[in-house]
Chains A and B, each alone.
Chain A
Amino acid sequence: MSLNKILSLILILLFLPLQSKAFLGLTSRFDQKHKITAAREAYTNGNYQEAIEIGRKFLSENQEAPKRRIRRIYLVLGDAYAALNDYDHALLTYNEALEVLPKDVGLNLALANLYYKTELYDKSIEFYNKVLQLDDDNSKALLGLGRAYLKIGFLSKSRQYFKNYLDQKKEKDNSVYFDYAMANFLSNNQNIALEYAQKAQKIDENNPDIYFLTAKIYRNLKENEKADNNINQALKLSNNRDDILLTSLLWRAYKQETAKDVFKEIKNYQKQNPDSQLAVFIEGMSLLTQGKKQKALTIFRKIQDVNEDSFIKEITKQILKNN
């Protein structure tokens, strides 16, 4: 055997363990990728339980896996729990993931969104802010903060974040326009509210909620004809949805010119909704507007017979007391 062959053999023998280790590492990486793909596919196909099982197994068997893979599997796991409405486990999963990867924007955002969904708005604000600390113009966090502040009623902050989002995102989004219009409507900034409600209307002409909001804005701006047109459109699009219908009837019951017509309509409504206290109130209101005070008071007395306490009952009680 020549010296060259002997040296080659020694070299092969020396590197063999390293190569086998590399080979094993390669198969392990391949296996991890395969499992992540399988979990993601199970999730995409709606097999959430299967995705959870794969994900949990992955985490128990691959604690040394690269962080980017751990991140991916945690996201699949959290999403799968959330899809099953198992929010407790979903929250635990994202929190667990953030212990490993505290500065991950995607995980912080996923947790913030989930807190928002579960109506833990103060926590969602905390995590959206963390996202902004990591990525200061993250548009999803800006939008999330706008919406979360709208829910807790801190409207100046809500408007500020919506504005930042709208300045940054140029594409039209009717739901954002609607929410921004709502934040301004609730803050009594009726002109800005109207501008954005109309923008939302232009994108979605068939959404009754947008017309309903526009009607309320016009009413606050004392443009009653436009308010009536919009609420009628909302009624048409929603096929006479109860909240829109009762609001419309209430507005009309309060007006001299329309109070008489309301009386007939509310009677029809009561046939289908015999328990509606508001319908009885509107009936009484329309009579009161027509100057039929005694008849109105008789109607209001009907509400006093209802057992449940309500604002409507309290109002009528006060009206009866004062008359």
Chain B
Amino acid sequence: MFYRLTKFLLFTFLFCLLGQNIFALSDVEEDAILRDFAWQEFIQLPKEKRPTVGVTLSAGALRGASHIGVIEVLSEAGLPIDYMSGTSMGCIVGALYNAGLPLEHLQDLVNNINTSYISKDFNIGGILKYLFAEKLFSSEEFQEFIDKEVGSKNYEDLPIPFACVSADIKTGEKVVFDSGPLSLGVRASMNLPGVFEPVEYRQRLLVDGGIVDYMPVDLVKKMGADFTIAVYALPNFAGSKPNNIMGYVLRIGDLRGAVLTEDSEHQADFVILSRVGEIGSSDRSKTSLAIEIGAASAYQELPKLKEKLIINGVNYVFK
């Protein structure tokens, strides 16, 4: 102990003699000081004096609940969101957030999600028809549910320009909703093929957009975003086998999604991966955990995201 103390004192004395600060900050600590300072300046800039930001939320069924955690972290950090897009669960979360639902309420909704919110056919009769009469479930209830939550809003009423993706099962085309009734586009975007009846709309038969564009980064770019952030609820299928028909349908979506997102990830300026792979796509008991993982993943990436944005807007921050 005495030896250690003597060594420490001698060390301190020598450094003091040389006039150096032995408690100097590391590069990482210095970076953090500048980042915190510059970020506060950046977020106070008016929209026209900084790069505009677009956020895209991926599909991912109930894993996509993680988007709520991500949005919370981004908005509490003061990130200005100028444009948004989403597919399937990403569309639901984006639409409800954008329509002004408090994040706490959104968390409650997802954590207490009930099949009756989605379809009136989720009962014995409906299941028998599905199995023996090959009649798909209706998702009309879901549209009513969205209308009830947001008060029959249109896309044009949203404070942040928003678009979501659906697919025409007849032609394989990508159908973008960015105007008209919000609830219709949201329903079409999450309308799982093989489970729900396609939504008939303007000569089209619409199903879940995840099969054509799992993470529509291009939409926010087209809307005018200078800087795009893609949020991906990462699936993990390594070694696991789906437990039921729904599991298989969702797995196909995830596999297709994994291929499609490769391109979207390259298009984005920044990607936040929510590591929710261990959570099943239809596991209702783990939505709360998914939200938590989303928040933690975004918070971990936040310093890097701030740095990238500040560098993009450097001329405005350091005039």
Q: Residues of A at under 8 Å CB distance from B? A: 122, 125, 152-157, 186-188, 216, 219-220, 242-243, 246-247, 250-251, 254, 271-278, 281, 285, 288, 308, 310-312, 314-315, 318-319, 322
Q: Which residue on B lies nearest to A121, using beta carbons?
A: B296
Q: Which residues of B have CB within 8 Å of A314? A: 307, 311
Apart from A216-B36, A220-B40, list 16 A-B contacts with CB within 8 A.
A152-B296, A152-B299, A154-B295, A156-B103, A156-B104, A157-B295, A188-B76, A242-B24, A246-B30, A276-B30, A278-B31, A278-B33, A311-B307, A312-B31, A314-B307, A315-B310
Q: Which residue on B lies nearest to A126, using beta carbons?
A: B289
User: CA of A250 to CA of B160 in the docked complex: distance in angstroms?
Assistant: 34
Q: How far is the CB of A168 from chain B (nearest CB, A)?
A: 20
**B292 and A154 contacting across the interface, CB-CB below 8 Å:** yes
User: CA of A250 to CA of B29 in the docked complex: distance in angstroms?
Assistant: 14
Q: Which residue on B lies nearest to A309, using beta carbons?
A: B27
User: CA of A220 to CA of B36 in the docked complex: distance in angstroms?
Assistant: 11
User: CA of A275 to CA of B69 in the docked complex: distance in angstroms?
Assistant: 39
**B27 and A155 contacting across the interface, CB-CB below 8 Å:** no
Q: Which residues of B have CB within 8 Å of A188? A: 76-78
Given contacts A156-B72, A285-B318, contact A276 B38 (CB under 8 A): no
Candidates B21, B25, B300; contact of A278 at CB < 8 Å: B25
User: CA of A18 to CA of B298 in the docked complex: distance in angstroms?
Assistant: 67
Q: Chain A binding site: helix, strand, loop or mixed by DSSP?
A: helix
User: CA of A219 to CA of B44 in the docked complex: distance in angstroms?
Assistant: 12
**Contact residues on B (Cβ < 8 Å of other chain), bracket:** 35 or more
Q: Which residue on B lies nearest to A251, using beta carbons?
A: B37
User: CA of A79 to CA of B10 in the docked complex: distance in angstroms?
Assistant: 35
Given contacts A153-B298, A277-B27, contact A315 B37 (CB under 8 A): no
Q: Which residue on A lies nearest to B69, using beta carbons?
A: A154
Given contacts A186-B76, A188-B78, contact A247 B24 (CB under 8 A): no
Q: Which parts of B169-210 form the interface with A (CB within 8 Å)?
A: none
**A322 and B314 contacting across the interface, CB-CB below 8 Å:** yes
B34, CB-defined interface residue at 8 Å? yes
User: CA of A156 to CA of B291 in the docked complex: distance in angstroms?
Assistant: 11
Q: How far is the CB of A44 from chain B (nearest CB, A)?
A: 21
User: CA of A156 to CA of B69 in the docked complex: distance in angstroms?
Assistant: 10
Candidates B21, B38, B295; contact of A242 at CB < 8 Å: B21
**B307 and A276 contacting across the interface, CB-CB below 8 Å:** no
Give the residue among B21, B69, B103, B318 with the most A Cβ atoms within 10 A.
Answer: B318
Q: How far is the CB of A194 from chain B (nearest CB, A)?
A: 16
B275-315: CB near A (< 8 Å → 1, else 0) gives 00000000000000001100110111010000100110011
Q: How far is the CB of B259 from chain A (nearest CB, A)?
A: 30
Q: Which residue on A lies nearest to B294, using beta carbons?
A: A154
Given contacts A154-B295, A156-B104, A278-B25, contact A311 B315 (CB under 8 A): no
Q: How far is the CB of B121 from chain A (nearest CB, A)?
A: 35
Q: Which residues of B have CB within 8 Å of A271? A: 19
Q: Residues of B at under 8 Å CB distance from A? A: 19-21, 23-25, 27, 29-31, 33-38, 40-41, 69, 72-73, 76-78, 103-104, 107, 291-292, 295-296, 298-300, 302, 307, 310-311, 314-315, 318-319
Q: How far is the CB of B9 from chain A (nearest CB, A)?
A: 18
User: CA of A243 to CA of B35 in the docked complex: distance in angstroms?
Assistant: 13
Q: Which residues of A have CB within 8 Å of B29? A: 243
**A318 and B37 contacting across the interface, CB-CB below 8 Å:** no
Give the residue among A156, A186, A216, A277 with the most B Cβ atoms within 10 A.
Answer: A156
30 contacts between A and B (CB under 8 A): A152-B295, A152-B296, A153-B299, A153-B302, A155-B72, A156-B104, A157-B292, A187-B76, A188-B76, A188-B78, A242-B23, A246-B33, A247-B33, A247-B36, A251-B37, A272-B20, A274-B20, A277-B27, A278-B31, A288-B318, A288-B319, A308-B27, A310-B30, A311-B35, A312-B27, A315-B38, A315-B310, A318-B311, A319-B315, A322-B314
